[in-house]
Structure 1
Amino acid sequence: MRPVVWSSRSKSFSIFSLWGTLLVSAVASALVALLVYLFWPSTYTATSSQGLLLMAEVIFNIAGLRLPVVMTCANRAVSAPINIWNDQQDAVSIRDSGWIQLWSENAQEAYDNTIQAFRIAEHMDIRLPAMVCLDGFIISHSIGRIEYLEDDEVQNFVGEFRKLNPLLDIERPVSYGPLILQDYYMEYRRAQAEVASKVSGVVLDVAQDFENLSGRKYGLFDAYHLDDAEIGIIILNSAAGTTKDVIDEYRSRGIKAGLLKPRLYRPFPYRETGEALSHLKALCVLDRADAFGGSFGPVYTDVAASLYPFQQRPILINKVYGLGGRDYLPEHAEMALNELLEIAETGRVRNYKEYIGVRE
């Protein structure tokens, strides 16, 4: 029996199961999220932008209660000012809530990541919620071809949902959401962090099984022409496709450029990321979100932390781009790569952080 899903449709929410559709009001959706899991099988929802942030309290609760909900986030800007277009401020704003985050370059990756997310979240060693991120409008509202799996293939891959500590087991009664004060709260949080440390291994195991089924290969990140690269770019989601085209053009000119596109952003694979990047001479992290008051963008800070333990590491710069739907163009990738070439040759940095594609 799988799955139960709900997603926004006008002013109501729909819950789909093998037995039909149940409509509930948007106001009740947060409560439904918990009740559906506690009484029913797998749970799925979709949101973005203000809708995600309006349930920030519930987001933290779902992770803390170890409920393996799967959610799609069509990344969009957050207010104010009001904006409905794409950037990634919504998902990165709750990146430390305890949810697994899988990021997707295109519709195919979003589809594949969603299927794998159920296996990852519901793994008995994990039992954490998982968010599948894709760029709002750029991917969510565009038409693209995908290779899909048959329903029975997906069901067999995901498997039967197994409940852990069901609420209605009268032979083994449990309590959900109890008050835990200073005597045990810290131990609970440490246990949650220890579970998160197992996620990357499960992600790789599930990816291998998915490759055996579909022929499509996934890892913790996509390393594009990175092995022999001297300069590199890190970028999330759909903008990676544009950047790959530019890197191909630079490669044709004999310039050793590469790209790393994170797939598993939370928990961030620090060791693996650092190992993949430490040989570079210069590296630019492109953030489609900002961390106000934090000096650098959110992805930059994770990458910088991953490289810190390495004695040999690249000079690192940060560029913020594409906020509120501003287009990311090939010329932006070219500008970053040209600056990296200069840094690699001279060791001098003009701007450690700047906003690109913005009016002065």
Structure 2
Amino acid sequence: MLKQIEGSRAVAEAVALARPEVICAYPISPQTHIVEALGELVKEGALSPCEFINVESEFAAMSVAIGASAAGARAYTATASQGLLFMAEAVYNAAGLGLPIVMTVANRAIGAPINIWNDHSDAMSQRDCGWIQLFAETNQEAADLHVQAFRLAEAVSLPVMVCMDGFILTHAYERVDVPTQEQVDAFLPPYQPRQVLDPAEPVTIGAMVGPEAFAEVRYLAHARQLRALELIPQIAADFERQFGRSSGGLLHGYRCEDAHTIVVALGSVLGTIKDTVDALRDAGHRIGVLGITSFRPFPLAAVREALVHAERVIVLEKSFSVGLGGILANDVRMAMSGTRRHGYTVVAGLGGRAITQASLAKVFEQAMRDEIEALTFLDMDWGLIERQLERERRGERSGPAAEAMLRDLGAVASRVS
């Protein structure tokens, strides 16, 4: 059913159609509208049987989800930013226990300094925790990926994060084809847990494992992720057959067939990149876009195949590994190992900074002439940085760097109560 709907509401309705039995909710922007909408559906009786549990922290949300899943319930929660960091211990436990929890991460920057706007730092901080991570480009894909995520999680017995850009997608109103209950029921079978805590047949889960088996346990999680690499495109193909639209999968290319230059990225920025590529194509440049949907497991072979004919690769990412550089770029570089390609990392959009077509066109054209650094920061105010570095070189007691730079800009730090 086509609806003009907020992204958060579309996701909530898609999650409800998957018939979760336990929803653990703790509010943190920008995911709050998702769990609010699910709470309304439970209260109205539109989602039943389902227990909606208000918890006191993000750590508690994931802990309750772990308990619910271990007891045999289909479990769901959502978080963002500092909330994901707060639940990090439990996030690792959920993956280590092989529990098929589905969680929305409404991507948001992590501090300090405090920032509520979008980038991918939160999900990237948990990239090695053992969860499958799927990134949505649009609200339609965000809704579709949640339906697929439950099926994938339960097929491989691993938790799945569906990552959607905070505010850019979560709070945007656009047309979304929300499936019917009958469609989802035909696509997603009833939950059949692989492990259940049952008082009649008591077992221990999460027991101490020493050096004699710990590596093997960790490898089992890796093996399940490799199995997910096979299943993700199969599930996406099945989804397309049943719902009549392509959504999900490992990756998707745009105008890549004859491209000399290919831009690789995650999430909603792909839309702006595609518009920029269309304009550059009109100007005679052979450039394309490769969008990664499955960040974990990372589709090394598929990425390598997609980039094999490109002369240069530009990885544009909304995250940054301090002291190293690009995060997505490192995975792309691994996929391209042994090939001779010009490779560039462009860090953009940190803390919600706008990524414009004009800025993208400029940096892409420079990259196509091989006139940018291997690690480039889009629209960085280098003068602002140099003034702060100069203060530090002089040994001035300038206070926290963020506040000092805000003073340089004539801005006032926001106060968050």
TM-score bucket of the superposed structures, by smaller chain: over 0.9
Deviation of 1:160 after TM superposition, in Å, equals 0.5
Deviation of 1:253 after TM superposition, in Å, equals 2.5
Q: Once the two structures are superposed, what CA deviation does each residue of 1:283-332 show, in whole Å capped at 9, x if it has no partner?
A: 111110100112x210000000100033xx42001111111110010012
Which runs of structure 2 are paired with 1:20-99 in the superposition (5 Å)? 21-27=51-57, 28-99=60-131
Deviation of 1:20 after TM superposition, in Å, equals 5.3
Q: Any conservation in 2 of the 1:278–1:314 contact (CA below 8 Å)?
A: no
Paired position in structure 2 for 1:235 = 265
Of stretches 98-107 and 329-338 in structure 1, the one that deviates more from structure 2 is 329-338
- Residue 291 of structure 2 corresponds to residue 291 of structure 1: no
Q: Once the two structures are superposed, what CA deviation does each residue of 1:30-81 show, in whole Å capped at 9, x if it has no partner?
A: 3311111122421111100000010110111000000000011110000100
Paired position in structure 2 for 1:260 = 290
CA distance in 1, matches of 2:72, 2:147: 19
Q: Any conservation in 2 of the 1:232–1:337 contact (CA below 8 Å)?
A: no
Q: Any conservation in 1 of the 2:72–2:196 contact (CA below 8 Å)?
A: no
- Residue 344 of structure 2 corresponds to residue 317 of structure 1: yes
Paired position in structure 1 for 2:7 = none
Paired position in structure 2 for 1:138 = 168
Deviation of 1:25 after TM superposition, in Å, equals 2.5
Bigger fraction of residues in helix: 2
Amino acid at match of 1:163: P
Shift in alpha-carbon separation, 1:351–1:54, aligned structure 2, 3 A = same
* Secondary structure of the corresponding residue to residue 146 of structure 1: strand
CA distance in 1, matches of 2:264, 2:363: 11
Deviation of 1:254 after TM superposition, in Å, equals 2.6
Identity of aligned residues (%): 35
Q: Once the two structures are superposed, what CA deviation does each residue of 1:247-274 show, in whole Å capped at 9, x if it has no partner?
A: 1112223321100010000010011101
**What's the TM-score once normalised by structure 2's chain length?**
0.80
Which runs of structure 2 are paired with 1:194-213 in the superposition (5 Å)? 194-213=223-242
* Secondary structure of the corresponding residue to residue 286 of structure 1: strand
Paired position in structure 2 for 1:6 = 24
Give the gaps of 5 or more residues in structure 1.
Answer: 344-348
| Matched residues, number | 349
Paired position in structure 2 for 1:270 = 300
Amino acid at match of 1:119: R
CA distance in 2, matches of 1:308, 1:19: 50
2:312 pairs, out of 282, 285, 307, with 282
Paired position in structure 1 for 2:205 = 176
Amino acid at match of 2:78: A
CA distance in 2, matches of 1:309, 1:201: 24
CA distance in 2, matches of 1:7, 1:242: 32
Paired position in structure 1 for 2:381 = 359
**What's the TM-score once normalised by structure 1's chain length?**
0.92
Q: Any conservation in 1 of the 2:66–2:101 contact (CA below 8 Å)?
A: no
CA distance in 1, matches of 2:323, 2:98: 31
* Secondary structure of the corresponding residue to residue 177 of structure 2: coil
CA distance in 2, matches of 1:150, 1:91: 30
* Secondary structure of the corresponding residue to residue 285 of structure 1: strand
Q: Any conservation in 2 of the 1:63–1:129 contact (CA below 8 Å)?
A: yes
Deviation of 1:189 after TM superposition, in Å, equals 1.0
Amino acid at match of 2:342: I
* Secondary structure of the corresponding residue to residue 29 of structure 1: helix
Q: Any conservation in 1 of the 2:25–2:54 contact (CA below 8 Å)?
A: no
Paired position in structure 1 for 2:49 = 19
CA distance in 2, matches of 1:20, 1:117: 19
Query: Larger Rg: 1 or 2?
Result: 2
Paired position in structure 1 for 2:133 = 101
Q: Any conservation in 2 of the 1:2–1:161 contact (CA below 8 Å)?
A: no
CA distance in 2, matches of 1:105, 1:332: 20
Q: Once the two structures are superposed, what CA deviation does each residue of 1:174-220 show, in whole Å capped at 9, x if it has no partner?
A: 21100001111111111221121111110011001100111111421
* Secondary structure of the corresponding residue to residue 176 of structure 2: coil
CA distance in 2, matches of 1:53, 1:259: 31
Q: Any conservation in 1 of the 2:106–2:165 contact (CA below 8 Å)?
A: yes
CA distance in 1, matches of 2:322, 2:210: 32
Shift in alpha-carbon separation, 1:165–1:19, aligned structure 2, 3 A = closer
CA distance in 1, matches of 2:331, 2:269: 19
CA distance in 2, matches of 1:30, 1:240: 30
Give the gaps of 5 or more residues in structure 2.
Answer: 1-17, 383-417
* Secondary structure of the corresponding residue to residue 279 of structure 2: helix
- Residue 142 of structure 2 corresponds to residue 110 of structure 1: yes
Q: Any conservation in 2 of the 1:75–1:87 contact (CA below 8 Å)?
A: yes
Amino acid at match of 1:186: A
CA distance in 1, matches of 2:186, 2:72: 19
Q: Any conservation in 1 of the 2:24–2:55 contact (CA below 8 Å)?
A: no
Paired position in structure 1 for 2:356 = 329
CA distance in 2, matches of 1:269, 1:48: 25
Q: Any conservation in 2 of the 1:103–1:265 contact (CA below 8 Å)?
A: yes
